[in-house]
Amino acid sequence: MIRTTSKLADGRELIYFDTDGRVPRNTVDRRPLDAPANGSEIRRDPMTGAWVTIAAHRQARTYRPPADECPLCPSADGRFSEIPASDYQVAVFENRFPSLAADSRDPGYVAGDPLRGALAGTGRCEVVCFTADHHASFADLDEARARLVLDAWTDRTAELSALPGVEQVYCFENRGAEIGVTLAHPHGQIYAFPFTTPRTARMTEQAARHRAATGRNLFEDLLAAEHTDPRRTVLTGRHWTAFVPFAARWPYEVHLFPHRRVPDLTRLTEAERAEFPGLYLELLRRFDRLFPAAGAGGTATPTPYIAAWHQAPATGGEELALHLELFTVRRAAGKLKYLAGVESGMDAFVNDIAPEQAAERLREVAS
């Protein structure tokens, strides 16, 4: 992997990742950009203890531009984008409209106040462009490019984790308008949080309870149980297993675990890294074959999804295990699972598809 760092016109960092050194990278951002506006703060919900990010300045962010004005495509023919180069393999840059940023303002509250606890929204948000091809998707990448994305995620996890105040690094991809994606170009994001996210905090609590009750690690036991009862297994390799969780929240939800428990991407071995691209691409392609279009031919329609890397936080994460959670909000062809009153209001999920049925369907659409 070759890593080249440069700056955009407003001072934000841009990093190119490529494998052969032939892609043009050392280009200058010619846009007349003002410094990005960062007004974020984080406030603690006194009823739950969860941190909520307030980022009102993001209302002005780019929203569903036409393809010829995409800010993630390479710059060309006098049109300048967030990527100054005329081509690239993988590019990562600081978000122009970040939820969290190093220079976020002091909110003027006391962090320890039991009712009005708040802090500056210090952290970092990055955009990861998987390919220069606007019309592609992650599933269209070959294994070499998928591996390069994995290497970029790993690089950013290592660097962002070392920033002062960063507690957890979260790499993820939202795909599809149904998910709420505002830029159609294939890309993901990385958040460097100054706090442990609520879902991770709940996992940490459950892992501690399991350790106290059994003396064993929750995630190791969970993976062993899925290997013993393979009804929910979707695919498996020498180093990774993908399965539908026993209590899946979403209609089609798959968790991909390395067989060896590690806290984050930086701890994977070369063998684990080498096997990941093929398995992950197969999962994404199966998701795209879940809902064939109606009529003659029955061709597959792109499935909206969220792919989320769960990594241990900087403190208190000794019992947690790196894994990827992949799920879609589509429950049937032409039908979405909306978060209704019990889900949105009480965080009590109701799943319309049995996890065993979802796993069987995902095995049926194998390549």
Which residues are annotated as catalytic?
A: 187
Residue 159 CB coordination number (10 Å): 16
Residues with Cβ within 8 Å of 85's Cβ and at least 6 positions away in sequence, in order, are: 16, 23, 24, 25, 27, 74, 75, 91
CA 45 to chain centre: 24
Residues with Cβ within 8 Å of 83's Cβ and at least 6 positions away in sequence, in order, are: 14, 72, 73, 74, 75, 91, 93, 129, 132
In whole angstroms, what is the distance from residue 179 CA to residue 151 CA?
A: 26
How far are the Cα atoms of 171, 215, 222, 361 from residue 218, in angstroms, in the given order? 23, 9, 6, 27
How far are the Cα atoms of 48, 294, 319 from residue 192, in angstroms, in the given order? 22, 42, 20
E strand spans, the chain: 2-7, 13-18, 41-44, 51-54, 90-94, 118-120, 124-129, 168-175, 187-193, 233-236, 240-243, 252-258, 305-310, 323-328, 330-332, 335-336
SS3 50: coil
Cβ neighbourhood burial of 192 (10 Å; 0-12, 13-18, 19+)? buried
Handedness of CA 263, 269, 272, 275 (dihedral sign): positive
How far are the Cα atoms of 6, 134, 257 from residue 145, in angstroms, in the given order? 21, 15, 21
